[in-house]
């Protein structure tokens, strides 16, 4: 299948403001892009010119990032791409085994460590009390995902940019990033490398959500030498995920970061299957 993705995100700023972005599709999906992905920045005020230059680079996780200075009056980001997809749901592999810590590649150890939103030190005892009797590997990752799916209530009113995995566990409510933070923290506590993912995920193969949010957060775990996708919010294999960025947690994959005061004034995202004529 082919999936049309894109966004229009606008910010207002009184003064010129440096920004960093993470709005591009992840390099692991470059081969699936039909034609060229477009990500541009346009000034909100006409006297600021027709476009704002963006300089692109790769961060330490391999994500595509941009740097720019938004002019006074603010900036609007527009992106679009057509992406080929297998049309298959997330891979399920009950035979996947947990890799002993002493056999993990060096570069994966950071995905066992605490990070900004994932306090393994606060949740290790809880994790072992909940999942210590589960079989290591796929069964344990599923048990963690099931627990978080049922423990946390979803609602946009529960969103807060300072909420950590421990907060989510105590409050029992959050948005997709909170489900992912709690689940991947529990995985790390149980010695399963886990990383945060963000990207497009439209309502493909499922009933359409009346209030869609086509950017989503999920997580991946490392089992049997490869990364597998898990989603504690939906807790069901989904079709059409298009990865944009990976990191230790949401702090590593912010869509935009402004180095000065800016106000979000527009946020529209699309992720739709292209139906052949």
Q: What is the DSSP string of 102-155?
A: GGS-GGGGGGGS-BTTB-HHHHHHHHHHHHTTSPTTHHHHHHHHHHHHHHSEE-
d(CA 166, CA 197): 19
pLDDT of residue 213: 63
Per-residue pLDDT of 100-138, as tens digits, reads 999 999 999 999 999 999 999 999 999 999 999 999 999
d(CA 189, CA 126): 9
DSSP character string of 196-217 = EEEEE----SSPPPSS---EEE
Each domain of the chain, given as residue ranges in start order, spans 2-86+255-273, 101-239
pLDDT of residue 40: 97
Collect the ranges in the chain with pLDDT lower than 70.
48, 211-213
Q: Which CATH architecture has domain 2-86+255-273?
A: Sandwich (2.60)
Residue 169's contacts (CB-CB under 8 Å, 6 or more residues apart) are 123, 126, 151, 182
Q: Indicate the SS3 state at residue 183.
A: helix
pLDDT of residue 208: 82
d(CA 192, CA 91): 18
pTM: 0.95
pLDDT of residue 277: 74
CATH number for domain 101-239, candidates 3.90.800.10, 3.40.47.10, 3.10.620.30, 3.40.50.300: 3.10.620.30
């Amino acid at each position: 299948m082919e999936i049309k993705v894109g966004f229009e995100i606008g910010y207002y700023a009184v003064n010129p403001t440096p920004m960093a972005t993470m709005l591009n599709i992840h390099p692991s999906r470059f081969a699936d892009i039909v034609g060229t992905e477009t990500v541009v920045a346009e000034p909100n005020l006409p006297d600021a010119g027709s476009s704002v230059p963006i300089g692109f680079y790769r961060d330490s996780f391999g994500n595509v990032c941009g740097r720019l200075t938004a002019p006074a009056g603010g900036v609007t980001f527009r992106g679009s791409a057509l992406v080929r997809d297998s049309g298959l749901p997330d891979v399920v592999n009950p035979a996947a085994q947990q890799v002993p810590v002493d056999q993990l590649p060096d570069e994966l150890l950071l995905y066992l460590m605490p990070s900004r939103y994932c306090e393994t030190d606060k949740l290790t005892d809880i994790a072992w009390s909940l999942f210590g009797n589960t079989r290591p590997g796929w069964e344990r990752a599923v048990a963690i995902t099931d627990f978080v799916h049922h423990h946390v209530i979803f609602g946009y009113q529960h969103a807060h940019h300072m909420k950590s995995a421990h907060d989510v566990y105590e409050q029992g409510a959050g948005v997709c990033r909170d489900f992912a933070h709690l689940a991947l923290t529990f995985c790390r506590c149980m010695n399963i490398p886990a990383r945060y993912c963000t990207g497009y995920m439209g309502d493909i193969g499922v009933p359409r959500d009346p209030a869609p949010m086509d950017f989503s957060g999920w997580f991946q775990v490392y089992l049997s030498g490869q990364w597998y996708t898990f989603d504690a919010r939906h807790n069901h294999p989904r079709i059409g995920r298009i990865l944009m960025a990976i990191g230790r947690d949401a702090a590593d994959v912010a869509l935009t970061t402004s180095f000065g005061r800016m106000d979000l004034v527009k946020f529209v995202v699309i992720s739709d299957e292209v139906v052949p004529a």
